[in-house]
Structure 1
Amino acid sequence: MDVLGIDACGKQGWTAIRLTDGAYAGSLVDVRLDALIERAGGVAAIAVDMPLGLVEKGWRSADLEARTLLRVRRSSVFLVAPRPAWEESDYAAAGDRCHELTGHRLSRQAWALAPKLLEARACWLADERIHEVHPEVSFYALAGGVPMSHAKKTWRGQMRRRQLLAAAGLVLPDELGEADVVPADDVLDAVAAAWSAYRIALGVAGRIPEVPELDAEGRVVEIRY
C-alpha cells in the first residue's frame, strides 16, 4: 500500500515522500500541488501539511486544541482565519475581515501562506484521499505524547525527529532523489506527514478535535496524526 506525505517548501513548491507498506519509497518535488499528486499516481492516502478546512467564524477548534497539546511547540500552530478572510485580495482587507469574524487580525505570517493554502484547499475539495496534518502533532504522537524540546531547524531538533522516524521504521537514505534540493526540516515534515498518511490508510490515525467541525463545503475541519 502506497501513501504520500506532502510539505510546502518555499520556491520549490511542494515536496512529497512516498511510503510503501510504511517504509520509505521515494520523493517528489513539484511547483504545483495538483501536478505532484498526479505524478504520484494511485496512492491510498495523501497527508498535506497545510490548513485545508475553514470555518465561517471564530478560530478553528483544531488549531486551539493542537496548541494546547504541543505546549512548548504551540507557536508552530498558527491560528487559521475564517474562510471569508482568505477570499480578500490583500493583507489589509483580510486582516479587517479576520478581525470582524474573530476579534483579532490575521498575522502576516499566516497571510503569506494564502497562495499555497488556497492551492491545497482546491485539491482537498476535489480529492477525498487528501487529509490535513501538522508535523509537530505527528512528532508528538511519534514521541509517545511528548512535544519536541527543540525547534525543527536546530541540529538537536532535526536529529531527534530523525531518530523518532527511524524508530517507526522510516529510515531515510543519504540520497533522496528529487528531495535532495529541499531543506532538511521540510523533508522531515514531509516524512512525518507520510507516517500520518499511512496511519490514516490503516484506519488507526488520531484526529484533533475528536468531534470535528464542518467546513462550508461539508468536509471535516480536523488535523490527523
Structure 2
Amino acid sequence: MDVLGVDACGKQGWVGIRLTDGAYAGSLVGIRLDSLIERAAGVRVIAVDMPLGLVEKGWRAADLAARALLGVRRGSVFLIAPRPAWQEREYVAAADRCQELTGNRLSRQAWALAPKLFEARACWLADQRLHEVHPELSFRTLAGGVPLTHPKKTWRGQHLRRSLLAGAGIVLPDALGEADRVPADDVLDAAVAAWSAHRIARGTAGRVPEAPEPDAEGRAVEIRF
C-alpha cells in the first residue's frame, strides 16, 4: 500500500515523502502540487500540510481544536479565515472581510499562505485522495499524546522528530535524492504527513473536530492525524 505525505517548501514548491506499507520509499520535489501528485502514480492516500476546507463564517473548528491539543505548539496552527476573505485580492481587504466574519483580522502570516492554499485546495476539490493534516498534531500522536517542546527548526527538535519517525518504522536515509536540497524541517513534516496518510488508508487516523464542518463544496473541513 503506497501513500504520500506532502509539505510546502517555499520557492522549491512542494516536497513529498512516499511510503510503501508504512516504510520510506522515496522523495519527490516539484514546483506544482498537481504535477507532483501526477508523478506519484498509484498512491492510495495523499496527506497535505496545508489548509484545504474553508467555512463561510467564523474560524474553522478544526484549527481551534488543534490549538487546544497542541499546548506549547499551538502557535504552529494558523487560524484560517472564512472563504469570502480569501476571495479578496489584497491583504487589507481580506483582513477587513475576516474581521466582519470572525470578529478578528486575518494575520499576515496566514495571508502569505494564499498561493499555496489555492493550489492545494484546487487539487483537494478534484481528488478525493487528498486530506489535510498538520505535522505537529501527527508528531504529538507519535509522542504518545504529548506536544513536542522543542521547535522543528532546532537541532534537538529535528533529532526528536526523526527519532519518532524511525520508531514508527519510517527511517529517513541520509541521502534522500530529490529532497536532498529541501530544508530538513520540511522533509520531516512531509514524512509525518505520510505517516498520517498511512493511518488514513488503514482507517486508524484521528481527526479534529469530531464532527467536521461542511465546506461550501460539500467536503468535510477537518484535520487528520
Q: TM-score range by the shorter chain?
A: over 0.9
* TM-score (normalizing by structure 2): 0.99
What does residue 15 of structure 2 align with?
15
Deviation above 6 Å: which 4+ runs of structure 1?
none
Q: Post-superposition shift, 1:100?
A: 0.6
What does residue 219 of structure 2 align with?
219
Structure 1 residues without counterparts, runs of 5 or longer: none
Q: Per the alignment, in what secondary structure is the counterpart of residue 222 of structure 1? A: strand
Q: Post-superposition shift, 1:31?
A: 0.3
Q: Per the alignment, in what secondary structure is the counterpart of residue 210 of structure 1? A: strand
Q: Post-superposition shift, 1:28?
A: 0.3
2:210 and 2:136 map into 1 onto residues whose CA distance is 18
2:72 and 2:155 map into 1 onto residues whose CA distance is 18
1:36-91 deviation line (CA, Å, top 9, x unaligned): 00010110000000000000000000000100100000000010000011111010
Question: Residues 1-150 of structure 1 correspond to what in structure 2 (within 5 A)?
Answer: 1-150=1-150
Q: Post-superposition shift, 1:126?
A: 0.2
The amino acid of 1:195's aligned partner reads W
Q: Per the alignment, in what secondary structure is the counterpart of residue 149 of structure 1? A: coil
1:42 and 1:26 map into 2 onto residues whose CA distance is 14
Q: Per the alignment, in what secondary structure is the counterpart of residue 213 of structure 1? A: strand
Q: Post-superposition shift, 1:3?
A: 0.2
2:210 and 2:140 map into 1 onto residues whose CA distance is 17
1:89-113 deviation line (CA, Å, top 9, x unaligned): 0101101110010011110000011
What does residue 183 of structure 1 align with?
183
* TM-score (normalizing by structure 1): 0.99
1:126-179 deviation line (CA, Å, top 9, x unaligned): 000000000000000000100001000000000110110000000010100000
Structure 2 residues without counterparts, runs of 5 or longer: none
2:59 and 2:113 map into 1 onto residues whose CA distance is 17
The percent identity for this pair of structures is: 79
The amino acid of 2:74's aligned partner reads R
Q: Per the alignment, in what secondary structure is the counterpart of residue 139 of structure 2? A: helix
The amino acid of 1:124's aligned partner reads W
What does residue 152 of structure 2 align with?
152
2:63 and 2:164 map into 1 onto residues whose CA distance is 24
Q: Per the alignment, in what secondary structure is the counterpart of residue 105 of structure 2? A: coil
The amino acid of 2:100's aligned partner reads E
Q: How many residues align?
A: 225
2:17 and 2:219 map into 1 onto residues whose CA distance is 25
